[in-house]
Amino acid sequence: MPSVSDTYIENRQRVQPTHTNNYASAHGGNVVKWMDEVGAMSAMRHAGETCVTAKISELDFKRPIPQGDTCVIESHAYAAGQTSVRVRLRAFRESPRTGEREVTTDSYFVFVAVDADGSPTPVPELTVEGERCRKLRDEALAAEPDA
């Protein structure tokens, strides 16, 4: 069975002029798109099936990501239901020169595993192996908005 650590993904996107709004920072819609794509990858790593977005909770934009900086998306599954996978997602602003990083966006997504016909399909249990897995899961559960 997959563990929380097995689903951990970190992805980077350099914020280009075509990704920005009138204030020369990443357009919120682009950040959500990047989060959704990486979150789906975490869910699929757990489910072993195609996963589609079912719910986004508490999408909080705390800080902008300026043009030229890097948007780092951090994602991992932290809980599973019968056919669903709950994924914690955070976006960071990262300076490409120094590596300095700060959280800009925080959210929780629910993905549903689907079969070839698009019907919900069961997912395995999510295991917690080791201190890193436990920490990732516990932090996500403690901050989860619908808990």
| Rounded Cα gap, residues 5 and 75, in angstroms | 10
Nearest to 87 by CA among 56, 109, 107: 109
What mean pLDDT is predicted for residues 125-130? 90
27 pLDDT more than 90: yes
pTM higher than 0.85:
yes
Give residue 72's Cα distance to chain centre: 10
Structure tokens at 30: 């682009």
Write the pLDDT tens digit of every residue in 38-75: 999 999 999 999 999 999 998 989 999 999 999 999 99
| Rounded Cα gap, residues 99 and 144, in angstroms | 28
- Residue ranges and CATH numbers for the domains of the chain are 5-143 (3.10.129.10)
| Rounded Cα gap, residues 137 and 93, in angstroms | 23
